Amino acid sequence: METTGKVIKCKAAVMWEVGKPLSVEEIEVAPPKANEVRIKIVATSICRSDEHVQHGTLIGVKLPIILGHEGAGIVESVGEGVTSVKPGDKVIPLYNPQCRECRGCTDPGANVCHKNDIGGKISQMADNTSRFTCKGQQIYHFLQTSTFSEYTVVDEINVAKIHDDVPLDEACLIGCGFTTGYGSAVKVAKVTPGSTCAVFGLGGIGLSVIIGCKVAGAARIIAIDINTDKFAKAIELGATECINPKDCEEPIHELLAKTTEGGVHYSFECIGNPDVMMSAFLSSYPGSGVTVIIGAAPLLSQLPLNPLLLLGGRTLKGAIFGGFRGKDDVSQLASDLISEKFKVDGLISHKLSFDEINKGFDLLRKGESIRTILHF
Report the interface residues with ligand CND, using CB under 6 A: 47-49, 52, 176-177, 180, 200-206, 224-227, 230, 245, 270-273, 276, 294-296, 320-321, 367
Q: Does residue 335 carry a catalytic annotation?
A: no
Between residues 77 and 184, which has the closer beta carbon with respect to ligand CND? 184
CA distance 218 to 193: 5
Cα–Cα nearest to 71, from 154, 183, 147? 147
Kindly give the pairing relationship between strand 220-224 and strand 241-243: parallel
Between residues 161 and 233, which has the closer beta carbon with respect to Zn ion? 161
Least distance CB 247 / Zn ion (angstroms) = 46
Least distance CB 323 / Zn ion (angstroms) = 15
Binder of residue 52, out of ligand CND, Zn ion, none (CB less than 5 to 8 A by kind):
ligand CND
Kindly compute the dihedral angle of the four CA atoms of residues 126, 129, 131, 135, in this order, to the nearest 10 degrees: 160
Binder of residue 105, out of ligand CND, Zn ion, none (CB less than 5 to 8 A by kind):
Zn ion
User: Could you say which of 49, 130, 149, 331 is catalytic?
Assistant: 49
Binder of residue 31, out of Zn ion, ligand CND, none (CB less than 5 to 8 A by kind):
none
CB atoms within 10 A of CB 83: 8
Q: Does 59 bind Zn ion (CB under 5 A)?
A: no
C-alpha distances out from residue 71 to 172, 255, 257, Å = 4, 39, 40
Q: Is 45 exposed, middle or buried (0-12, 13-18, 19+ CB in 10 A)?
A: buried
Binder of residue 113, out of Zn ion, ligand CND, none (CB less than 5 to 8 A by kind):
Zn ion
Between residues 134 and 319, which has the closer beta carbon with respect to ligand CND? 319
CA-angle at 200, arms to 197 and 203, nearest 5°: 115
Euclidean distance between the first and the last CA atom of the chain, given in angstroms as a whole number? 19
3-class DSSP assignment, residue 130: coil
Q: Does residue 49 carry a catalytic annotation?
A: yes
Between residues 117 and 170, which has the closer beta carbon with respect to Zn ion? 117
User: Could you say which of 69, 141, 253, 265 is catalytic?
Assistant: 69
Binder of residue 270, out of ligand CND, Zn ion, none (CB less than 5 to 8 A by kind):
ligand CND
Between residues 8 and 205, which has the closer beta carbon with respect to ligand CND? 205
Kindly give the pairing relationship between strand 90-93 and strand 159-161: antiparallel
Q: Does residue 176 carry a catalytic annotation?
A: yes
**Interface residue with Zn ion, options 30, 46, 53, 113 (CB under 5 A):** 113
Binder of residue 154, out of ligand CND, Zn ion, none (CB less than 5 to 8 A by kind):
none
Least distance CB 130 / Zn ion (angstroms) = 22
Q: Does 102 bind Zn ion (CB under 5 A)?
A: yes
Between residues 3 and 358, which has the closer beta carbon with respect to ligand CND? 358
**Interface residue with Zn ion, options 105, 218, 282, 344 (CB under 5 A):** 105
The H or E element containing residue 25 is strand 23-29
Q: Does residue 69 carry a catalytic annotation?
A: yes
Contact (Cβ atoms closer than 8 angstroms) between residue 49 and residue 69: yes
Report the helix count and the strand count for the chain, using DSSP H and E: 10, 18
The H or E element containing residue 231 is helix 231-237
Q: Does residue 270 carry a catalytic annotation?
A: no
209: which strand partners? none
User: Could you say which of 99, 113, 176, 242 is catalytic?
Assistant: 176
CA distance 187 to 329: 11
Could you give the residue ranges of the DSSP H alpha helices within 244-349? 252-259, 274-282, 327-338
Q: Does 110 bind Zn ion (CB under 5 A)?
A: no
Among all residues, which ones are annotated catalytic? 47, 49, 52, 69, 176
Residues near Zn ion (CB under 5 A): 99, 102, 104-105, 113
